[in-house]
Amino acid sequence: MPFDLNFLARLLPALLEGAEVTVELAVLTIAICLVWGFVVALAQATRGPLGWLAGGYIQIVRNTPLLIQMYLVYFGFSMGGFGLSGFASGLLALCMQNGGYVAEIYRGGLQSVSPRQYEAGRALGMRRWTLYTTVVLPQVIARIIPPMTNQSISIIKDTSQVAAIAVMEIMKISEVWVETSANTYDVFLGAALIYLALTSAASLAGRLCERRFTFAQ
């Protein structure tokens, strides 16, 4: 029967161990993408080869499946003679793809600030650094929090794909338990509940940040 509470009680410790790997992978991906995406967004805003390169990178990573990118990283580095672990390969692939999405979020946030505010700051004699840190960036941060929250939730869910390269996170542990117990329904129900808890926590954190920055403005 579904909802075997005794089975779920035995399964829960294993899923929580997998959740630690999932959280570590997601947090590292989000942190790296916040920096990498900003660099790509600034590069895309420039004219010339650097802007074209950044734009091409965004198009490639956003329009190819994450799983294929993960396989290319995992097996490609191995063929090159310096193979990465499954965790490192998954992290690199997640950062590559989500960095493109985060760069677009940054670009949208920067473009949402009226050009008149730039002109007003310069008319007041503000240096570029002062203008960006005191006028532009606070507005950009407040406006990109909702899409960044959504992207963070997507990253948490996308970590499930590293199971394909044998990383022992929630999904891979679930697959192992399904193979040994043949209790598919309860295993994936437990996994779904763990993912739901993680994404709900990310959503709550995003709302708290949004309220804080809105109040600060």
**Segment 35-94, tens digit of pLDDT:** 999 999 989 888 888 889 999 999 999 999 999 999 999 999 888 878 788 999 999 999
Mean pLDDT across the chain, nearest whole number?
Answer: 88
Which structural domain range is residue 184 located in?
A: 5-216
Identify the residue whose tokens are 């829960």.
12
What's the CA dihedral at 110, 27, 196, 170 to 10 degrees?
A: 140
Q: How many domains does the chain have?
A: 1
**Contact criterion met (CB below 8 Å) for 25 and 90:** yes
Q: In this structure, what CATH number is given to the domain that contains residue 172?
A: 1.10.3720.10
pLDDT digits (tens, 9 = 90+) for 197-207: 999 999 999 99
pLDDT digits (tens, 9 = 90+) for 104-136: 999 988 888 777 777 777 777 777 777 777 777
User: CA 136, CA 38: separation in Å to the nearest integer?
Assistant: 14
CA distances (Å), origin 207, targets 56, 59, 139, 191, 214: 33, 30, 16, 25, 10
User: CA 154, CA 217: separation in Å to the nearest integer?
Assistant: 28
